[in-house]
Amino acid sequence: MLQTKKLILVVNDDGYLAQGIEVLAQAMKPLGDVIVVAPDDARSGSSCSISSTLPIHLRTISEEPGLKIIACSGTPADCVKLALEYACPRQPDMVVSGINHGDNASVSLHYSGTMGAALEACMKGLPAIGFSLRTHSQHCNFQPYLETVVRISKQVLEHGLPQDVCLNVNFPEVETLQGSRVCRMARGRWVAEWQPAQHPHGADFYWLAGQFSNLEPEAEDTDMWALDHGYASIVPIRLDMTSYETLSTLNFS
């Protein structure tokens, strides 16, 4: 009986040259054929944005048995969209995004291009996972997380995910993980976000920086708590953002 090898699409928002995506692509190779379609440059903070006014192009960077790498001029969500229609030889069995340099826990999810790509794959009905590491470095030791990355990916590849749900997986920067916890998004807020500066010619401008403030640091069932205590956090994320809890309480007639 002919068994087609699984196909895994790997994307990110840091660009195809980032260390995190190279590590992720290599980790996926034992699980199936791997195709990387990633931005041609860093696109942090892309959220689920799409390119509505510029045409997008693809460029094949390298191809070897079981691993093809393609650079895309668009956003992370564009990468997924274009990969599915033009780059993948068949429908992928799973889409993994990352490993992002920087965490995407709590509300940072909303800004994340890593998770934008995962959400896009989820919108297309594919099992999707975003992986992110809480670090400020572009050169990290990803070794402590690979066993968990592969374990979660294998399980999703075999059993899928609930309809319209993808995973937001974050790692703390530690030598040894305490384990992993399925949890919820913490309530949080970015504060003091801008650093004013002056153009050499005198004009004011502002750099986005900011501090994250956890609004419920004691809540043990949150992703931030897991990360703060050395655990990987695994948050199931739903496409449907309707607030069902408040639906019946609202009346605007």
* CA torsion through residues 96, 135, 39, 67, sign: negative
Q: Shortest distance, CB of residue 150 to a second copy, whole angstroms?
A: 11
133 binds a second copy (CB under 8 A): no
**Is residue 136 at the binding interface for a second copy, with CB under 8 A as the rule?**
no
Binding to a second copy by residue 1, rule CB under 8 A?
A: no
Nearer to a second copy, 4 or 243 (CB): 243
- Is 247 near a second copy (CB under 8 A)? yes
Scan for tokens 């990916």, then name that residue. Answer: 153
Among 5, 29, 90, 189, binds a second copy (CB under 8 A): 189
Residue from the set 30, 66, 160, 179 that interacts with a second copy by CB under 8 A: 179
Residue 50 lies near a second copy (rule: CB under 8 A): yes
- Binding flag, residue 114, a second copy (CB under 8 A): no
Tokens 């030791």, located at residue? 141
Helix (H, G, I), strand (E, B) or coil at 81: helix
Give least dist CB 2 to a second copy, A.
29
SS3 state of residue 209: coil
Using alpha carbons, select from 88, 124, 110, 114 the residue that is nearest to residue 9. 88
Q: Identify the residue among 17, 49, 173, 177 touching a second copy (CB under 8 A).
A: 49
Using the CB atoms, write b or e for 60-97: b if 16+ within 10 Å.
Answer: eeeeeeebbbbbbbbbbbbbbbbbbeebbeeebbbbbb
Which 76-95 residues touch a second copy, going by CB under 8 A?
77-78, 81-82, 85-86
- Three-state DSSP class for residue 123: helix
